[in-house]
Amino acid sequence: MTSLETAANPENLRRIAIDPVSRVEGHGKVTILLDDKNKIHQVRLHIVEFRGFEKFIQGRPYWEVPVMVQRLCGICPVSHQLAASKALDAIVGAKHPTPTAEKMRRLMHYGQILQSHALHFFHLCSPDLLFGFDSNISKRNIVGIAEKYPETAKRGILLRKFGQEVIRHAAGKRIHGTGSVPGGVNKSLSVAERDELLKDIYQMVSWSREAVHLVKELHHKNPELYNSFGAFRANYMSMVGMDGSLDLYHGRLRARDDNGNILFDGVDYNNYSELIAEEVKNWSYMKFPYLKSLGAEKGWYRVGPLSRVQNCDFISTPLAEIERREFMAYSGVMPMHAPLGYHWARMIEMLHAAEMIKDLLHDDDITGSELMATGERGFEGVGVIEAPRGTLIHHYRVDENDLVTMCNLIVSTTHNNQAMNEAVRRVAQQYLHGHEITEGLLNHIEVAIRAFDPCLSCATHALGKMPLEIEVLDESGARLSYLSRSGDGSFCA
């Protein structure tokens, strides 16, 4: 952990705020405290949103929960619906959902991984990666990509669209469907729906593979930047399949230290609370989870694609496995810790998702009619899923009248809280230290945050330009300089 979390004497320092951070979901801000020589003393990523779902879900009937909690997010609602459904399977006693139910849920999930990863890479991050972090702001967006790299932009849009169509067929709607319910699903694929998706899936696999190659090339062309930008060492955690494979839907928890050594493995996620605790800091609404065995200081960790691809033993689909091996060979003996490595790992996952969709569409169970399972009524359930951004934990208790009495959600971005703060601090040290503030330099901070694809992102995914205000104040609070960016991307000082 860097020492830049809290300045020793903040009272005489200048404060710069990036508020809100752009091209990420929701509202977060970065504050930086500097002295007269622009030496950095404190950097914090604050998450200033408050949702309250854990409270207002209480007193509601449990069967309403998967549809209600998915409203947490407009990008990855399927993750919340599935995590809640898995948790509530225990309430209806569905220990083993039917093959059709599990495969429909997986289809829905891989559709979401595909669309979310495509959206993040092509719409949000490719402008930074293809044009440069401090390139011309007027071109650094998806429209600029469409002008200079029309084929890349087209593929990004169509990959995302295909993922959304998979979700629509599996859940009833592209966003906020109802397909997954406690105990199973409410529909399977019709033959016509399956055939419609089969028409395009081979193209999607091919484009996903080329997207991996695109990111790989960026790493190979500029290893100095990609291996060091905002790099920090961290523990990492994810769910892996029962056989050690990359499994984004179901499995056991595994964590490794910053050298890649196993910290724990094969842990039943129902026992998550024995492993993870959350620290509260007075400057952020978002908690800071850590591994209990290591304590808050050393136990923070990273989740998401970079963790998952390095944490699993293998990937079950052939093309993604080839890419995983190349990724692991590139990083060498030690795990890759560079935040920009997230993009590479994310594209490998997108390829895996496309391959999984292809396999599921060829599976007869996907058009089956056994949709629901039941069993002995339960009163408590935990559901864990690997959402696009990382490990997602839902935990509920339900009373004898079927109403929810307790809800605990640990979402992916929360796991990454300390890690994102570390990345921001590294970048501030590497690039802002002693320099005049420019829009391009501030974008370096945002590039580091975006690499994690934090789930603060649904608000700005489409447009990619959030209003931004930067103020430099002297020790008395008087404004020394000011820069603002409007919603249309124009700047004024």
Partner 1 sequence: MTQSNSFILDGATIPYTNEQTIIQAAMAAGVYIPHLCYNPEFKPHGSCKLCTVKIKGRQVASCTEKPQAGMVVESNTKELNDERRNLLQMLFVEGNHFCPSCEKSGDCQLQATAYELDMMSPHFDHFYPDRPVDASHPDYLLDFNRCILCSICVSASRDVDGKNVFALAGRGINSHLVVNSKSGDLADTGFSANDKAAQVCPVGVILKKRVGFAIPIGERSFDEKPISATPHPTVKGA
**Binding residues for partner 1, per CB under 8 A?**
59-61, 63-64, 66-68, 71, 92, 171-173, 176-179, 181-182, 186-187, 401-403
Tell me the closest approach of the beta carbon of residue 401 to partner 1, in angstroms: 4
CB of 404 to partner 1, least distance (A): 10
The three-state secondary structure class of 277 is strand
- Least separation in angstroms between CB 5 and partner 1: 38
Residue whose CB is less far from partner 1, 378 or 440:
378
Q: Closer to partner 1 at the Cβ: 104 or 392?
A: 104
Concatenated DSSP letters of 125-160: IHHHHHH-TTS-TTTSSHHHHHHH-HHHHHHHHHHH
> What CA–CA distances, in Å, run from 74 to 165, 256, 319, 335, 459?
15, 31, 30, 32, 8
Cβ closest to partner 1, residue 270 vs residue 405: 405
- Give least dist CB 20 to partner 1, A: 25
Least separation in angstroms between residue 403's CB and partner 1 is 5
Distance CA 80, CA 387 (A): 8
Output 204 or 459, the one with its CB closest to partner 1: 459
- C-beta separation of 2 from 44 below 8 A: no
Output DSSP code: residue 36.
Answer: T
Q: Quote the least distance from Cβ 169 to partner 1, whole Å.
A: 10
Please name the residues in contact with 236: beta carbons below 8 A apart, sequence gap of 6 or more: 255, 256, 301, 302, 303, 306, 307, 310, 311, 335
Please identify, using beta-carbon distances, which residue of 233 and 377 lies nearer to partner 1.
377
* Closer CB to partner 1, 61 or 295, in the complex: 61
Beta carbon of residue 51, minimum distance to partner 1 (angstroms, whole number): 14
CA atoms of 379 and 369, how far apart (whole Å): 28
Percent helix, strand and coil across the chain, each rounded to 5? 45, 20, 35
Helices marked H in 4-123: 53-56, 65-69, 77-89, 99-118
Of 11 and 400, CB closest to partner 1: 400
